[in-house]
Structure 1
Amino acid sequence: MTSLLPQVTFITVTSEYAEQRIDNFLRTQLKGVPKSMIYRILRKGEVRVNKKRVKPEYKLIDGDEIRIPPVRVAEKETPEVSPKLEKVASLESTIIFEDDSLLVINKPSGIAVHGGSGLSFGVIEGLRALRPEAKFLELVHRIDRETSGILLIAKKRSVLRSLHEQLRLKQVQKDYLALVKGTWPSACKVVEAPLLKNTLQSGERVVKVNREGKPSETRFKVEERFEQATLIKASPVTGRTHQIRVHTQYVEHPIAFDPRYGDAEFDRKLSATGLTRLFLHAANIRFEHPKTGETMILNAPLDTMLQNCLKQLRHQNHS
């Protein structure tokens, strides 16, 4: 069964949606329409802004007039995410800060920040189900599915814009904790290696250090040393996909239990600690609150598995 969305629709952009990318705007307007179809109608020029073709990355301006064509959409849509679902309900307990502008969670490992790639829902869909009254909830940034820790969600478009600007100007300080293979050299305080992203046919993203890649910089500090591993603090200056994971691998100290860039022998030795997941955690963040101007410093504790792993390693150090 398919149904036809209303005939050609014209929408005038208000200030609330200014600066939003046209592809993201269409995804909110055309609920249930596959992403691939949204990109197709953009590519074919069926969507027009001020009577002109635009690319998916075009950013809307207050007053723009958007022409949206009729779109056939399957009536069998993705089922609504129920706030009663166990995984969704458990997100409530991960909230570490909330006010009228922002919601900040300590994201568990193993849950994606948004649905897609065969996942029925991610953090953002789960939070929208938990907060049905919220007119606006958008991710400020992303962290990998396997990574745990601090994730910022904006409740207002103006807040999203402000935080994106702070990220662009490198005014947001993010610190991660990572357990890496071997003895991290104290002298290795910065890794600057350009990163190139490749998407495989499977849709999987793989990142490599490559001269053709984008400039990337991560700062490192040793937090604690163990017999065969080092706990480090990693502070990314740029925000590239898999940046910390690839930079640690590049200097031959991959992160524990990294399914893509790790070391199987190192993981095998660590398995005695009960660790079964990537040891990468977004522990701290510092930014300016978009509404109050206050300096916000938020911390997210390590989950039980990561804490237990460190306890075991400390015990081995002393035995």
Structure 2
Amino acid sequence: MALKILYEDNDIIVVIKPRGVFSQSSSGFEEDMVSLIKKHLGKDSYIGVVHRLDKPVYGIMVYGKNKKATGILCNELRKKNIRKIYEALVEGVPSENRGKLRDFIKKDNNISRVVEKDTEDAKEAVLEYEIIETKYSADRYITRLKINLLTGRHHQIRLQCAAHGFPILGDHKYNERVIKEKLDYNKVPALAAVALEFKHPKTGKEMKFKTGADF
């Protein structure tokens, strides 16, 4: 699989993660982004994971090429200084053209669920959304959303959209209609990370990257 590079220097590499590829090292024989980048840089190269995308999700990712750069970027992520923008196709129409979803999420194995605030191990999950367009197709409304992810919880966008009544098209984990009707959609949620903004860990320069959604 060819590696699509958006930017590279001595400290960072910004790439497009294809669908079906793990964003961090895989324990099995499946392809992962760390291995793909090492094929490009050399097998002994340092590759630092800064953030993650679900395996079936497409989009922009940044990796550190040394420990110092990776540490700075991870700290910026913790301080919510890295901006991550997604696009999604959802079933239904949110009640407002723009809104903020705030929930508490708990991860159980490979599934997350919305829980009460005082639940043990619950973590706050926040995102902002904006409707781009809505169309009527195949007896239902399909809405394209722009999503600003303010926290990075496990399956956060997929879970929150479903919990608030507009599940992501094709999501076999959280879209109840897909699960009940055993719809396939190649088991790919219509979700893509289309923009990433952060300060360069060495120079402090504002770095902005965009790509189109693949749906």
The TM-score bracket by the shorter chain reads 0.7 to 0.9
Task: Give me the TM-score of the superposition, normalised by structure 2.
Answer: 0.88
Structure 2 counterpart of 1:250: 163
Deviation at 1:182, TM superposition (A): 1.0
Relative to its length, the structure with more helix (as a share) is: 1
Structure 2 counterpart of 1:215: 124
Structure-1 separation of matches of 2:26 and 2:71: 24
Structure 2 counterpart of 1:4: none
Out of 172, 177, 186, the residue aligned to residue 87 of structure 2 is 177
Structure-2 separation of matches of 1:99 and 1:146: 28
Which structure 1 residue ranges, 5 or more long, are not aligned?
1-86, 200-204, 307-319
| Structure 2 residue 10 is matched with structure 1 residue 97 | no
Q: Which has the larger radius of gyration?
A: 1
Deviation at 1:124, TM superposition (A): 0.4
Structure-1 separation of matches of 2:176 and 2:78: 33
Determine if contact 1:256/1:263 at 8 Å carries over to the other structure. Answer: no
Structure-2 separation of matches of 1:175 and 1:127: 23
**Alignment root-mean-square deviation, CA:** 2.2
Determine if contact 2:97/2:131 at 8 Å carries over to the other structure. Answer: no
Determine if contact 1:216/1:238 at 8 Å carries over to the other structure. Answer: yes
SS of 1:130 mapped into structure 2: helix
Task: Give me the TM-score of the superposition, normalised by structure 1.
Answer: 0.60
Relative to its length, the structure with more strand (as a share) is: 2
Deviation at 1:135, TM superposition (A): 3.1
Structure-1 separation of matches of 2:179 and 2:207: 37
Deviation at 1:215, TM superposition (A): 1.1
The one-character-per-residue Cα deviations of 1:118-167 (angstroms, maximum 9, x if unpaired) are 44441101211221176311211111001100111111111111111111
The structure whose RCO (Cα within 8 Å, separation 6+) is larger is: 2
Amino acid at match of 1:279: A
Structure 2 counterpart of 1:107: 17
Structure 1 residue runs of 4 or more that deviate by more than 6 Å after TM superposition:
none
Instruction: Kindly tell me the number of residue pairs found equivalent between the two proteins.
Output: 206
Out of 68, 80, 95, the residue aligned to residue 158 of structure 1 is 68
Which structure 2 residue ranges, 5 or more long, are not aligned?
none
Deviation at 1:264, TM superposition (A): 3.3
Structure-2 separation of matches of 1:241 and 1:135: 28
The one-character-per-residue Cα deviations of 1:195-251 (angstroms, maximum 9, x if unpaired) are 00001xxxxx00000111111111111111111110001111111110101110110
Change over 3 Å in CA distance of 1:134–1:300 after alignment to 2: farther
Determine if contact 2:129/2:148 at 8 Å carries over to the other structure. Answer: yes
SS of 1:144 mapped into structure 2: coil
Out of 187, 191, 208, the residue aligned to residue 280 of structure 1 is 191
Out of 197, 206, 211, the residue aligned to residue 111 of structure 2 is 206
Determine if contact 2:172/2:179 at 8 Å carries over to the other structure. Answer: no
Amino acid at match of 1:229: I
Structure-2 separation of matches of 1:134 and 1:186: 50
Structure-1 separation of matches of 2:6 and 2:97: 35
